[in-house]
Amino acid sequence: MTTNPTPPVPPRPESAHIAPPPAPVPAAPPRADAPRPPLRVVLTVLELAALGAIGSAALAALSAVLGVGLALLFVFGVGLLFLVGVVYALYGVAWFEIRRVGSLYSADVPDLRWRERARPGFGGWLRTLARQSVDGRMWRTILHFLLACILGTIVLRVFWGMVWSVFFAFAPLSSEGSVAGPFGSYLAVEWAPLIGIVGVIVGGAGIIALALLHRVLSRALVIPSREAELTAQVRTTTAQRAGAVRAAELERTRIERDLHDGVQPRLVSVGMTLGLAKQKIEADPAAAKELIDEAHTSTKAAITELRQLARGIHTSVLDDRGLDAALSALAGRSHIPVHLDVRIDPSATGAGAACRDAEAAVYFAIAESLTNAAKHSRASECRVVVRSRDGGLWARVEDNGMGGAQVQPGGGLDGITNRVLAAGGTFRLDSPTGGPTSLEVSVPCAS
């Protein structure tokens, strides 16, 4: 699966992954089922207590595995297995922490996603693992989890202090004249109720303060600020606009080239043939008839080329019958056998202009991939898979050709890249020399 020949330009790598900046999640109004502030404080205290009891043990286990991995790093590389496990475990802890904080504070926090693989094979996996191990957002979330565990441990200690204060307040019920106070001191039994009440009040205030501190830390480390959301949104919008401009430019260039190299010469030929027929219509009617038949054939061929050109600009069946029917028609016109597997859930992708744009981007990406596979890859079959995923559309096109596809400026794959980028999606190409070639696109139905 390769692109059409273009002037010599420095090609991109055989395996390319092009994606816009992560789309921010705009701040949403509080949900109707969101817990009220007093209940939220109670839930925060309970979660902190759970983290104080369980989270500390989890962090200790991770630290132990990390220590073993570092110690065995130079023992036949055995430590690498432990270090890989630590990276995956840290990712899991960070993912859980983001979901916990988002659910606790009813905030729309984007989920933590594993870094996309930029290259195929084992080397690409190691590179992705290394990039994930230095992911800043993951480490900020791990830091928040560590601080939450520390706060949880303090909450547990303060709670037991409150329990001790309750029992201390009832010390006058005993027959002793003095009771043991904090730090090894002894107090008159008459002061016990006052000290116990003060201890309960101070402990309760301390627990509430710890819950509020947890909220402040969550806002600083996990929940993106409004300024950060706006900055990311501007960055994403700028990238999408650049992709849209580039895609429109490439489309205009392609239309001009097809008209200039295909339809225009054919129509000029039709005009010249009809002119010759007009000159011979009286002197040699038979030759004139042959020229008219030739012009008629060329006219039908020109109409076919114009129809194909119009189909490349806009596909009516896509609007009338949807992506599934449009891809079925596309597979039926393909010069090589196409195994089509389309499973789209309308309830998962939604409807409207945003979803139509996503369907158009996926359709033209698949169309260009099938065209390249038929023209250049020497493939004998092609497989197309389309699914609803994460509120959008995901598609994969794979052929068994000779591979070696590259994204070249002005080529077909460059057009796919910019069209998908303009729709807010991602594009990934794996095409090692010798094949197979696979192309994946993922386009959200809302941006």
Q: Per-residue pLDDT tens for 287-327?
A: 888 888 888 877 877 777 666 666 555 566 676 777 888 88
- β-strands 392-399, 437-444: how paired? antiparallel
Which stretches within 51-185 are classed as H helix?
A: 56-71, 78-104, 121-133, 136-169
- Residue tagged 């475990």 (tokens): 89
Strand bridging mode 338-343 / 382-389 = parallel
| φ and ψ of 353, to 5 deg | -65, -40
| Six token digits for residue 446 | 């809302």
Q: Per-residue pLDDT tens for 319-375?
A: 677 788 888 887 887 778 888 888 887 665 555 555 777 888 888 888 888 877 877
Q: How far apart are CA 250 and CA 418, in angstroms?
A: 9
Task: Say how far apart CA 180 and CA 171 lie, in whole Å.
Answer: 10
Q: pTM to 2 decimals?
A: 0.57
Q: Residues 371, 327: contact at Cβ < 8 Å?
A: no
- Predicted confidence at residue 12, as pLDDT, reads 39
Do 393 and 362 contact (CB within 8 A), yes or no? yes
Q: Which of 33-37, 229-233, 296-300, 404-408 has the highest mean pLDDT?
A: 296-300
d(CA 132, CA 405): 27
Q: How confident is the model at residue 22 (pLDDT cuts 50, 70, 90)?
A: very low
Calculate ∠ Cα 256-259-260, nearest 5°: 80
Closest C-alpha among 26, 229, 20, 24 to residue 116: 20
pLDDT the model gives residue 27: 42
Structural domains in the chain, CATH included, are 25-223 (no CATH), 234-444 (3.30.565.10)
pLDDT band at 417 (very low <50, low <70, confident <90, very high): confident
Q: How far is CA 92 from CA 32, 137, 207, 416, in A?
A: 29, 13, 28, 34
Beta-bridge partner residues of 438: 398, 430
Q: Within 10 A of 231 (CB to CB), how many other CB atoms are there?
A: 14
Nearest to 127 by CA among 115, 136, 111, 112: 115
Q: Under DSSP, is residue 102 helix (H, G, I), strand (E, B) or coil?
A: helix
Checking if the pLDDT of 442 tops 70, the result is yes
Confidence of residue 207 (pLDDT cuts 50, 70, 90): very high
Beta partners for residue 180, in sequence order: 186
HSE (side-chain half, CA atoms, 13 Å) at 346: 6
**Buried residues in 380-392 as b, exposed as e (16+ CB within 10 A):** eebbbebbbeeeb
Q: What is the pLDDT of residues 32-43, one digit of tens each?
A: 455 567 788 889
Exposure string over 413-422, b if 16+ CB within 10 A, otherwise e: bbbbbbbbbb
Q: Residue for token digits 């596909």?
A: 315
